[in-house]
Amino acid sequence: KQEVTQIPAALSVPEGENLVLNCSFTDSAIYNLQWFRQDPGKGLTSLLLIQSSQREQTSGRLNASLDKSSGRSTLYIAASQPGDSATYLCAVPKAYGQNFVFGPGTRLSVLP
Amino acid sequence: KAGVTQTPRYLIKTRGQQVTLSCSPISGHRSVSWYQQTPGQGLQFLFEYFSETQRNKGNFPGRFSGRQFSNSRSEMNVSTLELGDSALYLCASSLETSFDGYTFGSGTRLTVV
């Protein structure tokens, strides 16, 4: 059974800091992993989708890496801004082509 | 390119009533998945539809049902509402499977009183 955990549960940092969010999953036989952000009361916005053949993906100030063998992914946010404040969730498929299983999220607050 | 559209955005219903939520996926996407999000349980998978057929199902009671139309639009229905059904219901569309990644709608906030 695929289970996903995220550490830390919450994080508060001053503006401008670089930070790392962690995601762990129990079944390493995954085909991809997706990172999302969610603003309070809103839907999920896709940030990065990493296929298992890739080691990392980058979009602007965001960089996500995937290490299947250790069952981990990290999301790196460079030069954080108050607008980055949100909950960040990672998701991996239950099995190939099946539904995503989500972690509980990391709630990020970036203070001006 | 239009995103995933969910309607309505907010609903207030009384215990025992039923409710229907709608989701229009991105044009060309054939898979629609539904999730329930609550503060205590996080995001939980309800079901997935592909080509008008339910392809996967989560662990929810039979009061939760859905369908998909030939244009890929999907509806989910909850009958005999309970207070515990209060949640944010999210719809995600993908081209074929989760391998293609998900795009989510803004969700429907259901409150049962």
Higher pLDDT, B97 or B4: B4
Q: What is the pLDDT of residue A29?
A: 87
Q: What is the pLDDT of residue A70?
A: 93
- Segment B25-50 shows an average pLDDT of 96
Say if residue B1's pLDDT is above 70. Answer: no
Sequence-distant (≥ 6) Cβ neighbours of residue B29 within 8 angstroms: B72, B93, B94, B95, B103
How many angstroms separate the CA atoms of B95 and A39, rounded? 25
How many angstroms separate the CA atoms of A48 and A56, rounded? 9
Residues of A in contact with B58 (CB under 8 A): 99
Identify the residue among B1, B26, B36, B43 best suited for mutation to test binding to A, counting A beta carbons within 10 A and taking the highest.
B43
User: Does the beta-carbon distance from B98 to A43 stay under 8 Å?
Assistant: no
Both tokens of B20, joined, read 């229907």
- Segment A22-43 shows an average pLDDT of 94
pLDDT digits (tens, 9 = 90+) for B98-112: 889 999 999 999 999
Q: What is the pLDDT of residue A103?
A: 97
Q: What is the pLDDT of residue A1?
A: 86
Burial B37-75 (b: 16+ CB within 10 A, else e): beeeeebbbbbbbbeeeebbebebeeebbbebeeebebb
CB B12 within 8 A of CB B103: no
Cross-chain CB nearest to B99 (options A32, A46, A89): A32
Q: What is the pLDDT of residue B31?
A: 96
Whole-number mean pLDDT of chain B? 96
Say if B105 is an interface residue toward chain A (CB within 8 Å): yes
Residues of B in contact with A96 (CB under 8 A): 97, 99
- B8 prior amide bond cis, ω within 30: yes
Q: Give the count of alpha carbons within 13 A of B55, CB side only.
A: 17
Give the 3-state secondary structure of residue A81.
coil
Residues of B in contact with A49 (CB under 8 A): 101
Sign of CA dihedral A91, A51, B25, B106: positive
Sequence-distant (≥ 6) Cβ neighbours of residue B51 within 8 angstroms: B30, B68
Cross-chain CB nearest to A93 (options B90, B98, B109): B98
Cross-chain CB nearest to A49 (options B101, B105, B109): B101
How many angstroms separate the CA atoms of A77 and A62, rounded? 5
DSSP string for residues in A42-60: S-EEEEEEEETT-SEEEET
Say if B56 is an interface residue toward chain A (CB within 8 Å): yes
pLDDT digits (tens, 9 = 90+) for A36-65: 999 998 999 999 999 988 889 999 999 999
Q: What is the pLDDT of residue A89?
A: 98
Both tokens of A85, joined, read 């404040």
